[in-house]
Chain A
Amino acid sequence: MNGLQFEALLPYTLLAAASLVVILLIAFRLSHTVIQITGFILMCAVMVALLQASALLPVAIYPIFQIDGFALLFTGLLVLCVMVVGLFSFIYFEEREENPKEYYILLFLGTLGAAVLSISSHFISLFIGLELLSVSLYALIAYLRNRNNAVEAGIKYLVLAAISSAFLLFGMAMIYMETGSMEFATIAKKLQTSNGHSILFITGTGMMVVAIGFKLALAPFHLWAADVYEGAPTPVTAFIATASKIGVFAVLLRFFQTIGLSNYPMVITVFLVLAVASMIIGNLLALRQQNLKRLLAYSSIAHFGYLLVAFLPGNAAGVQVAVFYLLSYSITLLIAFGVITLLSSREQDTGDLALFRGLFWKKPVTAAVLTLALLSLAGIPLTGGFLAKFFVLATGAQQQLWFPVTVLVITSVIGLYYYLRVISTLFGEAVPTPVKKTLHPFFYLTTYTSLIVMVVLLCWLGTFPNDVIEYINRQLLIR
């Protein structure tokens, strides 16, 4: 490893260091506030390091890492998500029974795992990153260990994740057997010569898809999503919904871009079925949902179905669209979960829709923010969600993938119903739900501010996306 590689790896080193710093801070018995602020500063430092590293790209740390513009985009997105999640965590955990300090260790380790996924170009780093992410999540989900919901959710996630990891390893072993290497580029070369229709490769990919499908909550591997989203603490749910999926999607994109997805129509078919099934099932499940957290879980299923439609063509335009979509989707979900965090009381997370009734009349700003986030999820124009969905549609239509595009349109329409149902609940008759605020108002203020900033970002994405798209394009070209 030479100096250049070290410099390029700096952000990730900093991420790892963050966890260590937090451990040290805990050892010195410093307060939650200090840890929170330090964590936030460290994440900012990671961003700065990323920006600095961007000048050096692309750097390959053969054979396991490839740090390029693509990685930069995804890592940046990840860190942003984690910063916001950390912000939410503060007011959430401060009031809860558990000691919140160790939470941050796990959070940063999970982020590190996701970040490693985004730079990995080798099966080993893929697996390590994935496991790092998963193990952190096991503990994070069940963090509030005295609540039944949480433990149940944690166990479910553990069991299903373990199964999917097993499938992943088996699939990777098969591909290794076929090509003799675990590094993406070499695999691609070997597959080209052997004409890629070998049984081993196809079975191997099929098995890997299990793990990917599980992590991204794609049907039929989606069954954990609702229970886990509901049972986990809200900031953790936000983390699962955004950061973990971003990381896994990054490596998925990278792997299939390297081996050239368009050469393997069978793999494309698998993803097509995944996408269509997710879109349909996600939307159908959410239709009658009365709990906002479960509803958002089901809608995530559907959204990743939509995203896969952009992924199917396997060309550069698709990647660009996918990144944009992930960006707007993350912002939207963070807003939604932020609102839920703000409204949660000590005993129980505010998930039930009945508790949201008439929110507009009591807290108009919060309700407006949530409404905008839901509109973005539904794909209403002027929000980032609309443009993202539009681009996905355009990419699909360009490649003449008429079946998934039609399903996308139809299911979006179905989806509109439950989003609007939530919005109309917000405007309903007011129901008194006292939420005691016990912390210093500064923290609530920061959370509100971050929510509003994100809403503004979302609307900006929805109306003037050109700058962002150009930036994404430029970064993607650095490989």
Chain B
Amino acid sequence: MIGFLINGLLRKQLSKSLTSILGSGVILGSFVVSLLIFFQVKQGHTAVVNLFDFISVGKLSIPFSFQVDQLSSIFLLIITGVGFLIHVYSAAYMHEEEGQHYARYFAYLNLFVFSMLLLVLGSNYVIMFIGWEGVGLCSYLLIGYWFKNIDYTNAAKKAFVMNRIGDLGFLLAIFWIIGKFGTVSYGNLFEQVAANAKTLEGSAAIVGITLLLFIGATGKSAQIPLYTWLPDAMAGPTPVSALIHAATMVTAGIYMIARSNILYTLAPFTNTIVAIIGLATALFAATIAIKQNDIKKVLAYSTVSQLGYMFLGLGVGAYTGAVFHVMTHAFFKALLFLGAGSVIHAMHHEQDIRRMGGLKKYLPITHLTFLLGCIAIAGIPPFSGFFSKDEILAAAYAANPVYWVIGVITAGMTAFYMFRLYATTFLGQFRGAEHLHGHHPHESPAAMTIPLIVLAILSVIGGWVGIPEVLMKDAHSLEHFLDPIFAASSKFAHPHHLSHSTEYGLMGASVLLAVILIFFAIGRYSKRPELGEPTGFGKVLANKWYVDELYNAIIVKPLNWIGKFLNNFVERDVIDWTVNGVGKVISYSSRQVRLLQSGQVGSYVLLMVLGILAFFVIQFFVKK
């Protein structure tokens, strides 16, 4: 927050290096604090810190307080850690901006982290909502950062509006919670729910609340039907995409549902919906990603798809798995985005992969880290993606084998399109010569490559906190750590247990499929990259199944028409006429009354006497 204020208000005066040091420095400070908090929490010290009474009306008391426990501390670490790396990266990436815009960027970025921290630290839904809105605002500000380009600002608007639709669901859920339970604090609420679990299970209230909360999550975390803003949001600077649209903001929805896990466990109907939508989104987005030609768009659809996985995990009750995947996804997706940023930077802002290729020898560090990220996302052991994805898939199989089948197909597609991207960009011939006027691209500065390296390391080893039981006994430290959060839930859940052999089989199947498709993709695309426009069914995929056009026709055009109608008819003729009319009447009365003030004492006395007479009359008429 301090960073935001200083950078924001003094942006015209600060030099570039000072800005970046300040902006990154405050995040580093936050990261250090988060680490300290994490160690405290690990020892079992959770706390609810009450700052002040925010709203206190009648029986409803909403304090402005923070809840520090296992779930929030994990998210804290992710946000501040990855955030810090991205800040450092941005310092170099945004170097071409002039002073005050540079500072504006860092100011917004700091504000974003502040809001996100508020979101995860809040101890009740209202504080979470404040942070929720804050990140939505910052997303708008940052997507539209280069505001002189009208397309970008439109994208920012689209993001904000879609977020808003989801927020409506969130708000309604909050109101319902207040109405039904009288409190929004996590502690109170979850205790109440746990105590009345038998009566509440499957009840209309719980299902309604969880559905509304989920609507909020679909808006923020880009699920069907509110996902179209995310690919357009790639208009913002790449580090922004990395931070907001890969690692943090989009995971807010997951956080919310994970936090409310006990509510979801008691509403199996909603869980099914969550799982199905998550799965559908994952599949749908993956199909689109196969045919995209913009580096960032591929990654964007990949994000939507991975988020779908996380929701699938939540929907089948694998809460730890979903949070785990949040963590690993933050690592490798941020890595991939930053890597893409490095490529874009080297290619002087060219983003079309058809004009890249053969970058392996020009950008060695970027190439290696990008490759590691791709392997991680494809789910190959022992990289981090494997463990988290597999945990979700195993839980999906236990819930319903169909989920698993679709999940594995999507995983395969993920591997495929990621390696298509990798191969087209880094392997084969360099096709960008004319764009760069004959120069060769060179590797990015250290400020950009070091974060890449750090994230790559994390992508590789990050999964080792969550090794499932089948492979190693008692090694799932993440699950142990998060136990207290999900404990209440697990009492009511119907856990599915799989035999070890089934699990091995599942793991093997998904890995095998992934490996096959990886080699296929590399083989195909390094030799013959797709350079032309896609045709046939590919065209549908490339045009995102024409969903945007559909939305435009169904929603946007009618709304515009209604707006025009209301303006011309209702606003001008009805409302203006009434308001102006009232004004005229009052004005007229005023003139008439004023005429009584003649200045003549005699008339004053007369009026007084008339008044007295009137009073007497009134008095005698009010007799019972």
Please give the residue numbers on chain A whose beta carbons come within 8 Å of chain B beta carbons, in ascending order. Answer: 155-156, 159-160, 163-164, 167, 202-203, 206-207, 209-210, 213-214, 219-221, 223-224, 226-227, 265-266, 269-270, 273, 281, 284-285, 287-288, 414
Of B587, B597, B612, which contacts A210 at CB under 8 A? B612
A223–B589 contact, CB under 8 A? no
> Could you give 30 example pairs across A and B, Cβ below 8 Å?
A156-B601, A159-B601, A159-B605, A160-B601, A160-B608, A164-B608, A202-B619, A202-B620, A206-B612, A206-B616, A207-B612, A210-B608, A210-B612, A220-B611, A221-B608, A221-B611, A223-B603, A223-B608, A224-B604, A226-B597, A269-B622, A270-B618, A270-B619, A273-B615, A281-B593, A284-B589, A287-B587, A288-B591, A288-B594, A414-B586
Residues of A within 8 A of B9 (CB): none
A155–B619 contact, CB under 8 A? no
Would you call B473 an interface residue if the criterion is a C-beta within 8 Å of the partner chain's C-beta atoms? no
Q: Which residue of A lies closest to B592 (CB)?
A: A284
Q: A155 and B590 in contact (CB under 8 A), knowing A160-B608, A210-B608, A221-B608?
A: no
Interface residues of B in 568-622 (CB under 8 A from A): 586-587, 589-591, 593-594, 596-597, 599, 601, 603-605, 607-608, 610-612, 614-616, 618-620, 622
Would you call B497 an interface residue if the criterion is a C-beta within 8 Å of the partner chain's C-beta atoms? no
B607–A220 contact, CB under 8 A? yes
Interface residue range, chain B: 20 to 34
Closest 7 CB pairs of A and B: A220-B611, A287-B590, A223-B604, A284-B590, A284-B593, A269-B622, A266-B619
A203–B616 contact, CB under 8 A? yes
**Cα–Cα distance between A287 and B587 once the two chains are bound (Å):** 7
B474 to chain A, nearest CB (A): 59
A196 to chain B, nearest CB (A): 12
B514 to chain A, nearest CB (A): 62
Q: A202-B620, A213-B611 are in contact. List 5 more A-B contacts (CB 8 A).
A: A206-B615, A206-B619, A266-B623, A273-B618, A281-B593
**Residue among B607, B608, B610, B620 having the largest count of chain A Cβ atoms under 10 Å:** B608
A160–B586 contact, CB under 8 A? no
**Cα–Cα distance between A281 and B610 once the two chains are bound (Å):** 16
**Cα–Cα distance between A288 and B623 once the two chains are bound (Å):** 39
B590–A288 contact, CB under 8 A? yes
B596–A223 contact, CB under 8 A? yes
**Cα–Cα distance between A459 and B618 once the two chains are bound (Å):** 41
B589–A160 contact, CB under 8 A? no
B599–A167 contact, CB under 8 A? no
B616 to chain A, nearest CB (A): 6
Interface residues of B in 18-40 (CB under 8 A from A): none
A220–B608 contact, CB under 8 A? yes
A270–B615 contact, CB under 8 A? yes
**Cα–Cα distance between A206 and B611 once the two chains are bound (Å):** 11
Please give the residue numbers on chain B whose beta carbons come within 8 Å of chain A beta carbons, in ascending order. Answer: 586-587, 589-591, 593-594, 596-597, 599, 601, 603-605, 607-608, 610-612, 614-616, 618-620, 622-623
Residues of B within 8 A of A209 (CB): 615
B608–A163 contact, CB under 8 A? yes
Q: Which residue of B lies closest to A220 (CB)?
A: B611
B624 to chain A, nearest CB (A): 8
**Cα–Cα distance between A163 and B622 once the two chains are bound (Å):** 27
A285–B594 contact, CB under 8 A? yes
Q: A285 and B616 in contact (CB under 8 A), knowing A210-B608, A220-B611?
A: no
**Cα–Cα distance between A125 and B596 once the two chains are bound (Å):** 35
Q: Which residue of B lies closest to A267 (CB)?
A: B619
A150 to chain B, nearest CB (A): 15
Residues of A within 8 A of B612 (CB): 167, 206-207, 210
**Cα–Cα distance between A300 and B527 once the two chains are bound (Å):** 90
Q: Which residue of B lies closest to A414 (CB)?
A: B586
**Cα–Cα distance between A156 and B618 once the two chains are bound (Å):** 28
Residues of A within 8 A of B614 (CB): 220
**Cα–Cα distance between A313 and B586 once the two chains are bound (Å):** 30
A225 to chain B, nearest CB (A): 9
Q: Which residue of A lies closest to B602 (CB)?
A: A159
**Cα–Cα distance between A344 and B591 once the two chains are bound (Å):** 29
A292 to chain B, nearest CB (A): 16
**Cα–Cα distance between A461 and B568 once the two chains are bound (Å):** 46
A106 to chain B, nearest CB (A): 23
B569 to chain A, nearest CB (A): 27
B44 to chain A, nearest CB (A): 42
Residues of A within 8 A of B604 (CB): 156, 160, 223-224
Q: A227 and B610 in contact (CB under 8 A), knowing A281-B593, A284-B586, A284-B590?
A: no
Q: Which residue of B lies closest to A268 (CB)?
A: B622
**Cα–Cα distance between A184 and B82 once the two chains are bound (Å):** 80
**Residue among A159, A214, A284, A285 having the largest count of chain B Cβ atoms under 10 Å:** A284
**Cα–Cα distance between A285 and B618 once the two chains are bound (Å):** 24
Residues of B within 8 A of A273 (CB): 615, 618
Of B586, B601, B615, B619, which contacts A287 at CB under 8 A? B586
B492 to chain A, nearest CB (A): 47
**Cα–Cα distance between A227 and B612 once the two chains are bound (Å):** 21
**Cα–Cα distance between A213 and B608 once the two chains are bound (Å):** 10
A222 to chain B, nearest CB (A): 9
A265–B622 contact, CB under 8 A? yes
Residues of B within 8 A of A266 (CB): 619, 622-623
**Cα–Cα distance between A414 and B591 once the two chains are bound (Å):** 14
**Residue among A207, A214, A224, A287 having the largest count of chain B Cβ atoms under 10 Å:** A287
Residues of A within 8 A of B610 (CB): 220
Residues of A within 8 A of B597 (CB): 223, 226-227, 285
